[in-house]
Amino acid sequence: MKAIFVIAAVQRRPQLRQWLVKRGQSTITAEAGASSAPAATTVPNAASNRILGRWLVGCSGLVVGAVVLGGVTRLTESGLSMVDWHLVREMKPPQSQAEWEAEFSKYQQFPEFKIMNRDMTLPEFKFIFYMEWGHRMWGRLVGLAYILPTVYFWRKGYFNRSMKGKVLGLCGFVFFQGLLGWYMVKSGLEEKPESYDVPRVSQYRLSAHLGSALLLYCASLWTGLTLLLPTPKLTETKRLLQLRRFAKGTGGLVFLTALSGAFVAGLDAGLVYNSFPKMGERWIPDDLLAFSPALKNFFENPTTVQFDHRILGISSLAAITGLYMFSRRMILPRRAKIAISLLTAMAYGQVALGISTLLLYVPTPLAATHQSGSVALLSLAIWVLAELRKMPK
């Protein structure tokens, strides 16, 4: 009955009929517009790049913290205080006196205590334990800083195809770095009856651990800077191409010098010849090639390792000075000039720190500053490369 009444009313009133027709047309149009609208809004490219760039630069800063803390842990001989590895369980340090004594008892079963620290007290053990525990917890923080934002940004659609591969590689590298750290520590816990040396981690594994951390840092910083910094407007000339190649070679030399420092730390090579510029009374020491075969000296002879580090450091300084002099004869953007100038100033400061550390018999604060300086120098080299990079086609 109601339907019949409505139809009759419509037939009697033409205005009402026209209104219903218009309403039906507008409803259809609105539904069609809604169905054709995109399901989700897309993030502006420039805005997403800034967010990702800041995230990756922040992650690279956390990696620097891990490198510095690891260096201090090594200098205070704290790295072998935790004799096992658990991803979650070790996040909570011992709380009660009984738990501390149990942890100390485990440490007493390994070579470092038996050979070097037989007179160590429980408070002294707590200090080295907390140093290593802090380093491991920082490593977990680094992992979370990479993995959790990656999941979030991936779901939000911030990554293009290229960036997806990059962030997956970075996250995988973080996981690999954690495993490599334990593999390094394990080498210092092994019994070596044939050796009369003090217990220490393998210099090969230490260099691999530091090298992978530096690679992670360089990749994160480079990717972050290229997202944050506008592409430099440089005219492609022959001299610019030469400068760019020069800068790449110099950056590689700085990286190699930093990596050689891991062999110096692993062998305590900073304590064998505490003089400069000569090594003792000679420019080239007598025991430079004391090991056989000769190649073994470059990785296991403390004298050769220190000699190599000196040569690499001086070569890096010469290369950076040459880069600065070459760039002065070119017209470059202001930021590129600032980056090259800061790189040069840092190089001279780093060499001065290294010489001071050597002459003063490697005091922990100065040695830690020198190790941090190597990362600062590497950072400035990456900045220079970012300022000189090619414009994308």
Q: Which of 221, 257, 279 is nearest to 353 (CA)?
A: 257
CB atoms within 10 A of CB 75: 19
- Is the pLDDT at 125 greater than 50? The verdict is yes
Confidence grade of residue 39 (pLDDT, cut at 50, 70, 90): very low
Mean pLDDT score across all residues of the chain: 88
pLDDT one-digit tens code per residue, 324-380:
999 999 989 999 999 999 999 999 999 999 999 999 999 999 999 999 999 999 999
pLDDT tens digit string along 152-210?
A: 999 999 999 899 999 999 999 999 998 999 999 999 888 876 666 778 899 999 999 99
Report the share of the chain in percent with pLDDT over 70: 87
pLDDT given for residue 36 in this prediction: 41
Q: What are the residue boundaries of the structural domains of the chain, listed by start?
A: 44-190+199-228, 232-392
How sure is the predictor about 269, in pLDDT bands with cuts at 50, 70 and 90?
very high
Does residue 90 have a pLDDT over 50?
yes
Mean pLDDT within 226-233: 87
- Range with the poorest average pLDDT among 18-27, 110-119, 230-239, 276-285: 18-27
Q: What pLDDT does 29 receive? A: 42
